[in-house]
Structure 1
Amino acid sequence: MRYPFLFLPSALLFLSACGDPGIESGTGTAVGTYTNPVGDSIRMGDPYVLLHEGTYYLYGTAGKDGFKCWSSGNLRDWTYEGYAFKETTTSFGQSNYWAPEVIHYRDKFYLTYSCKPKDTGAYPDMMLVCLAESDSPTGPFTDKYAPWIDQGYSCIDAHIFVDEEQPYVYFDRVGYVGDWPDGYMFGIIYAMQLDRDNLQPSGDTVRVSEAEQDWENPDSDFSRCNEGAYVFKERDTYYLTYSANHWADPDYGIGYATAPTPMGPWTKAPDNPLIGKDSLRGIFGPGHNSFTSSPDGKETFMVYHTHGSFEDKERTVNIDRIKIDDAGALRILGPTRTPQPLPSGIR
């Protein structure tokens, strides 16, 4: 899965990223603007946007019994499409439906998600990742593998990346060190190769990323987490974005790493975080992102959530343009709170 990142001269990128983001004009001729957060009354964490045949589909952590879906033609105005996936009496999960992502692969739509299993005897105090499928991006999705990834520990936040027809999955191992409350939570990102035909794990599990940079609080006595991986390729480099710290912390933020192959080795950017708390603009807890492109393929957008305020942990949906500079550094043209042009190519 690749996105049309635009390369900018360093000087121009610096002005765009560090000046008033409201002056960013984009590259297309779209009429109209949007202002973050988008979606009016939509409240969700972990937003994921799929662009399919000119329509955007939005999913996220937004319900206790499954995953809802919204559609849009411009990333600003969203129409509720109902449940894409909903728990039933025979479902594997019973609660904690988190972090859905949907991809189109070989004429099918596949939904990855995390949940707490009904069978607490077989899976005590565990979160596990499942894979569901559908003929439509709006569902209904039904479980294909539940659980899908079961390595004897809790895992969440699955993300599928397809490189030259070879699929991979990235996910978080999560847990707790010590005895509550004297201990800390942890989240470590892992990767595995998938079988091209059935999407079952088919390779070794490789450790990808864990809390280590200062901004990630690697010595925290509360939360030492890397989570919410998203991978793409630009030219000959693989980029992985991830979130760090606890999701409810105003300092929750997004960093990125690069690698020569989908399995690594991954090197974190020295100037992380890519996006973090910005009290002056009212940006708190930005995290768990996905990417999408403009309808004409000329622009790339990061989709991410932020908190309502420093005290309000209810999460909202945000989008901002992303660029890669001439040195290969990933940059966000934001975070914005001023009117921005709609994606180029909007009709």
Structure 2
Amino acid sequence: MKLFAKVILCLLALPALVMCSADDKKGQVTTTKLNPYLADPTIFAQNGTYYLYGTKGDPNIPGEGFLVYTSTDLEIWSGPAGLHDGFAFKKGDGYGDTGFWAPQIFQHNNKFYMAYTANEHIAIAESNSPLGPFTNVGNPIPSDGKQIDPFVFFDNGKIYLYHVRLDDGNRVFVAELEDDFSAVKPGTLTECVHATEQWENTQNASWGVTEGPTVFKSGSLYYLVYSANDFRNPDYAVGYATSSNPTGPWVKQSGSPIISKALLGYPGTGHGDIFYDAAGAMQYVFHTHFSTTTVEPRKTAIVPLSLNSGVLSLAPGATITWPGVE
């Protein structure tokens, strides 16, 4: 981008600039770079490069789909770098014409795949590059109802689709996928978790929310990391459950969430994904509200996690890294 155009863009987005000092609120960092403003973010790492995707929120960038940014240090990002006008997947590349939410990127058999939500259904697109363009023939995974927030997980020769079904609340389910990702296998759909704890529904809403699942395995245990409360609620937060089987039953971590406004000092903390940095440390990318009074555009953030003696938590002394786009 030419310098003049970059200056104009920055002037237009001045309200969105993050400008603070090391003495400010816990977790803030000194930067004047623009946050990418991706909600429901995910980071895919390969060969020393990190690829950041999410639900687009920056009003200065038109279009629908999934932008992608790249970085080598998790702090300074370039882009949008997608091969379709900055998008890794843009409306028209496959299924969906509205509501492009919560992508996940994975690699399988030398191809890259994007599982995503559009029109409150789940679809999977493929590409030869993490930059896209990801494409599909225009069909979602068949379902008897609305489903969002996909996470594809491979384990012992099986492929699992963790996702959220909109049925008497946002509830996290899992089902086995066919080998070609075209459909779930009949008879394998199982509920994992729904909102039952006090921290998961601080407004006592009739429609409880658990969403944004991420799954990993450590030793003999499977960890299901999820967010709870409506995303517009300042108490939006992240907890987890464990199981000895990828389909459950799941036992929730007792007590409080592991990522929350109370722990980090920012409202609306949640709906992200776990990834590992170049040193092998576990990180969680997520979003926060824009401010204490405004939800949108949601800001992208990263914090380190630790797993000690089977307990998942914020890493000791963890502070927020705010990605900044050059």
| Superposition TM-score, scaled by structure 1 size | 0.76
Q: Per the alignment, in what secondary structure is the counterpart of residue 278 of structure 1?
A: helix
In the alignment, which residue of structure 2 is the partner of 1:53? Answer: 47
1:1-347 equivalences under 5 Å are: 35=29, 40-62=34-56, 65-80=64-79, 81=81, 82-88=86-92, 91-116=94-119, 127-144=120-137, 146-148=139-141, 150-175=142-167, 186-198=169-181, 200-203=183-186, 204-217=188-201, 220-278=204-262, 282-297=265-280, 299-314=281-296, 315-326=298-309, 328-333=310-315, 337=319
Distance in 2 between the 1:197 and 1:74 partners?
34
Q: Offset at 1:221? A: 3.3
Distance in 1 between the 2:301 and 2:115 partners?
21
Distance 1:228 1:303, change over 3 A: same
Distance in 2 between the 1:36 and 1:110 partners?
35
Distance 1:198 1:129, change over 3 A: closer
How well do the aligned residues superpose, as a CA RMSD in angstroms? 2.7
Distance in 2 between the 1:130 and 1:86 partners?
13
Give 1 or 2: higher strand fraction. 1
**Structure 1, residues 168-227: CA drift from partner, whole Å, max 9, x if none?**
11010115x6xxxxxxxx101110112335563225101111010111128823541111
Aligned residues: 287
Comparing both chains, which one has the higher relative contact order based on Cα–Cα distances under 8 Å and sequence gaps of 6 or more? 1
Structure 1: which amino acid aligns with 2:261? K
List gaps (5 residues or longer) in structure 2.
Answer: 1-24, 58-62
**Structure 1, residues 275-306: CA drift from partner, whole Å, max 9, x if none?**
11238x54111001201112132x11111111
Identity rate, percent: 33
In the alignment, which residue of structure 1 is the partner of 2:4? Answer: none
In the alignment, which residue of structure 1 is the partner of 2:9? Answer: none
Which stretches of structure 1, 4 residues or more, deviate above 4 A after TM superposition?
Answer: 36-39, 334-340
Distance in 2 between the 1:239 and 1:339 partners?
24
CA contact (8 A) 2:303 2:320 kept: no
Q: Per the alignment, in what secondary structure is the counterpart of residue 100 of structure 2?
A: strand
Q: Per the alignment, in what secondary structure is the counterpart of residue 136 of structure 2?
A: strand
Distance in 2 between the 1:38 and 1:60 partners?
22
Distance in 2 between the 1:322 and 1:36 partners?
22
List gaps (5 residues or longer) in structure 1.
Answer: 1-19, 23-33, 117-126, 178-185, 343-347
